[in-house]
Amino acid sequence: MNMPADEHPNAGNTHAPDEENKRIGPVFKYGLAAGFALILIGGTALSLSLTNLFLEILVVCAGLGVIFGAFGSTASISIPVQGITLTGVAAIVVALFIILIGQLDNRYVLVRVNGDIQEADVSLAGDHDYFGAFRKALKSHDFIIFGKEIKARKLHVTVTMKDRTEYPFDCIDAAVIRPYLASGMTIEWSFKRPTDDNDTPKILDSDGQPVANDIGGCRHDILRASTTDAETKRSGYVPGLISVAYAQASGALSDEEIGKLIGQLESDISRLRRGARSDLAAAGPVIVQPLLARLNQENSSYRLRLGVVVALAEMLRDNKDKRALVIGKIEGDALERLVEAAADKDRTIRIYASEFLYDLGDPRSIPMAFNQFRTASPNGRFNVLLPVKGAVPFATAAEKTNVITTIVPLKTGSPPKVGALIDSIVVEAKKN
């Protein structure tokens, strides 16, 4: 039976398929692709904190705007009209961006880091990793800090040289930045790489004053620390001591998570390396054995060795009351590796390893340190003796007598800094 023409399903709509194809045309498809690409880029940057939070959110919003515009364009059957619709959405996004930039005018401070940073990777972190880039013309790394406050008490600058040598300045007082927040000003810092083993890495301001005159965390001066109560020294923070690791919420980590973080210690991305160290340190004494197992492996890399001693040192800063538990997790050969690290040719590794061993206060490290003293560099000898300084308060009377007998002759020919440390160790060993 033939249906009347006016009752046929396609009556009056003979070009519907063509109209649908025009709506879902190349402009729509390209718009969707561009929108999802922007969301993917912005979302990835947000999850990994790759850039400034404001820019990351803006990219995601721009992607959503493009997608909405693409769907809106399907209401038209004309490809040129689709293009006009997407162009309008893009114009709105650009206008919003200009308005937001205008609102942010002068609401930032620019931190410019120059000096001995040729072909080096530089990062700056506070409340989060700040957006920055290398400016070849100025031979500097420029970082933008938006907003009117920094909640973190400490800033962290990490300089990684082309040869992978790393200089982590983890104890820069945020007060050096706070007066300039939202001023639109430029602060200039200069990184000075040590010229030899007697020199120290430092960051200086434009007046030549130190912003950070040594690498590492907020460590107390061991030679000036009171030795009248060894347990008090190890009961908590020395005033001003801030641990990067415990800025994060602590929580138990599974073996799988610990293994993943240990793997990130060798990442080519400094932010991931620093984050892995902090997350491991925040996990507490449970990290000791997995880290030392990796340190004991043959041909361990520089980044791994550095990451291990940094994580251990940061962990023990907030767990000094658990030093006995930590000691129980360290086998003799692993302790030997740590003492060797205190004499390492790399100053950064030496500093963190000796800090950990000093806070550990394990008398087993005393004869190991004396063995390393003979072959260590002058500055390495200082770091090697720090474990002795930390362990003497917990040594037996016989061990203290042996320390005095062994260490006094070592003062002959030693640099003044090493000699002063030897004197302080003798004073400590003579106490009951």
Q: What is the pLDDT of residue 221?
A: 44
At a CB cut-off of 8 Å and minimum separation 6, what does 119 contact? Answer: 161, 162
The CATH code that applies to domain 230-429 is 1.25.10.10
- Judged against a pLDDT cut of 80, whether residue 104 lies above it is answered with no
Token pair 């993943």 in the structure block, residue: 260
Which has the higher per-residue pLDDT, 333 or 107?
Answer: 333
Task: Provide the CA 321 distance to its chain's centre, in angstroms.
Answer: 26
Q: What is the pLDDT of residue 228?
A: 35
Q: What is the pLDDT of residue 136?
A: 84
What is the band of 214 on the pLDDT scale with cuts at 50, 70, 90? confident
Question: Percent of the chain, pLDDT > 90?
Answer: 47
Boundaries of every domain in the chain: 14-103, 108-212, 230-429
What residues are paired with 187 via a beta bridge? 111
Q: What is the pLDDT of residue 56?
A: 67
For domain 108-212, which architecture applies?
Sandwich (2.60)
**Nearest CA-CA partner of 107 in 182, 42, 28, 6:** 182
- Judged against a pLDDT cut of 50, whether residue 223 lies above it is answered with no
Q: What are the distances in angstroms from CA 238 to CA 59, 222, 280, 315, 376?
A: 43, 11, 22, 15, 29
Q: What are the distances in angstroms from CA 323 to CA 49, 225, 249, 316, 394?
A: 34, 19, 21, 7, 11
Mean of the per-residue pLDDT values of the chain: 80
CA distance 191 to 213: 10
| Cβ atoms of residues 189 and 163 within 8 Å | no
What is the band of 322 on the pLDDT scale with cuts at 50, 70, 90? very high
User: pLDDT tens digits, residue range 329-367?
Assistant: 999 999 999 999 999 999 999 999 999 999 999 999 999
What is the band of 116 on the pLDDT scale with cuts at 50, 70, 90? very high
- Judged against a pLDDT cut of 90, whether residue 281 lies above it is answered with yes
Question: With 0-12 CB in 10 A as exposed, 13-18 as middle and 19+ as buried, what is 146?
Answer: middle
Q: What are the distances in angstroms from CA 182 to CA 57, 279, 318?
A: 20, 31, 34
**Nearest CA-CA partner of 312 in 249, 360, 241, 373:** 360
